[in-house]
A and B are shown apart, each in its own frame.
Chain A
Amino acid sequence: MAKLAKSPWLLHYDASSCNGCDIEVLDCTTPRFDIERFGIINTGDPFQADILLITGGVNAQCESVVKQIYSQMPDPKVVVAVGICACTGGVFKDCYNIKGGVDTVIPVDVYVPGCAARPQSIIDGVVKALEILQQKRDAFARSQKSDKS
């Protein structure tokens, strides 16, 4: 694996999750699952993150926040929607304030279903995201090169 895939830093954002998925995301950093094995750090800073993990569907209030966080992350970046709420809106789909899944606001690269998504499948999703991140990185490097020439 090349540079980026070896050092992916996560940003976890709770859009409007019931907190079930959030606990599972935090579980990934515990000794039992230890995502730091893959060099993954859970940073709280969009400026330093490569992967955006979002739990829960997007509602009217957090829509602008999601957009802002996404725009603050430097390229190349990927988005992982964790939990069925983040994928489609889930059980909250028909609520009057819910817009739907995360992909109604920003482009999503990996969908991790489950209610709540298990730590194993979250880690699986993140590792999938690493491949996409690598492809994006290569494309980004190419575009930088063509910018210069």
Chain B
Amino acid sequence: MMRVLSVLLFLVLAPLVGALLDGIDRIISARMQGRQGPPLLQPFYDLAKLFSKQMVAVNSVQMLLNLSYLFFLAVAGAMLFAGADILMCLFILSTADMFLVMAASSDSSPFATLGAGREMIQMMAYEPLTLLMAVGFYLATGSFHVGDIIQMPHSAVLAMPGFLVGFFFITAIKLRKSPFDLSTSHHAHQEMVKGITTEMSGPTLGIMTVAEYYEMILMLGIVALFFLDAHWWSWIIAIVACLVIFFLEILWDNVSARVKWEQMLGSCWGVTLLTGGLNALILMLIR
């Protein structure tokens, strides 16, 4: 019963909370740049507008592929919030991303195709850590099940701080934050128009945006997973930790410039190896 409720809550609330966080993100970013910034509810206005625009379909499959992206992200998130297998959840997350890549390469725009290629490089950059992280959770808690992980006497982060650092790194890729916003950026003007979303307009872009909100909540959910344990107060710590990580991502976004893909791949794998790899090694030795 609790599981059904938490999945339903996730499916309904994730886009709303995601949009709200996005609004906060945009205000904080603007303040960091010395501007006033848009109203808090701006993402909702944007979404309402996108869904009221004319539907310019560049081909017949893009909408379907975008809907699949949304669907699989929602499923991946629902699995996490249902307390199911974290490995399964991460696999579905990468499947979802594949649909976005296909949606972008289905149209004829060279910018979208380039964006799709870069998106795949991004997947290559973060995939090793996500898989290692699932192993890390298993080593730290003895289970792949989210339901078991949050019932441990101690938070998982005590045994796997390295993974949290690594996860912070790849969250920047996932949230499309600078320095890793290669495939498409939330900021105006980048070298390849809007990258992966170049040929998405109106409702199609709206669906992609909603999907990104699901993804954002899913990523923050995994951050929370690091901190949750059997004590009730761990939930407060987890929420605070999520907000802190979210703020740090915004800060990083605003102080760094976009890197080239070689640097992204190199630094991501380096960080993965250093944090995740070492952490996993230590966990294996002390077990």
Contacts and interface: CB of A to CB of B under 8 A. Distances in A.
Interface stretch (A40-48, A55-63, A102-110, A119-127): A40-48
A37 B48 CA distance: 18
Nearest to B194: A45
A42 B189 CA distance: 8
Contacts, number: 81
A141 interface: yes
B53 A75 contact: yes
A137 B188 contact: no
B205 A31 contact: no
Contact of A3 (B35, B52, B188): B52
Given A36-B38, A37-B38, A74-B202, A47 B56 contact: yes
Contacts of A42: 188-189
Interface string A23-36: 00000010100101
A137 B49 CA distance: 10
B35 A31 contact: yes
B270 to A, nearest CB: 32
A44 B190 contact: yes
Interface in B10-56: 26, 30, 33-39, 42, 45-46, 48-49, 52-56
Interface residues of B, number: 31
Contact-residue size bin, chain A (C-beta under 8 Å from the other chain): 20 to 34
Contacts of A137: 52
A76 B39 CA distance: 23
B193 interface: yes
Given A37-B38, A45-B193, A3 B198 contact: no
Contacts of B106: none
B205 A3 contact: no
A50 B52 CA distance: 12
Nearest to A137: B52
Contacts of B53: 50, 74-76
Contacts of B96: none
A29 B26 CA distance: 14
B30 A36 contact: yes
B54 A76 contact: yes
B201 interface: yes
A38 B30 CA distance: 13
Interface string A52-72: 000000000000000000001
Contacts of A41: 188
A125 B199 CA distance: 28
A128 B190 CA distance: 28
B78 interface: no
Given A3-B52, A74-B53, A31 B45 contact: no
Nearest to A26: B189
Contacts of B46: 7, 39
Given A36-B37, A45-B194, A3 B199 contact: no
Given A39-B42, A75-B53, 17 more contacts: A3-B48, A6-B48, A6-B49, A7-B45, A31-B33, A34-B30, A34-B35, A34-B37, A37-B35, A37-B37, A37-B38, A45-B198, A47-B199, A48-B194, A74-B201, A74-B202, A76-B54
Interface of B: 26, 30, 33-39, 42, 45-46, 48-49, 52-56, 188-190, 193-194, 197-202, 205
Task: In the A-B complex, list the 9 residue pairs whose CB atoms are closest, starting with the nearest.
Answer: A47-B201, A6-B45, A31-B34, A74-B54, A75-B54, A7-B49, A34-B35, A7-B45, A45-B194
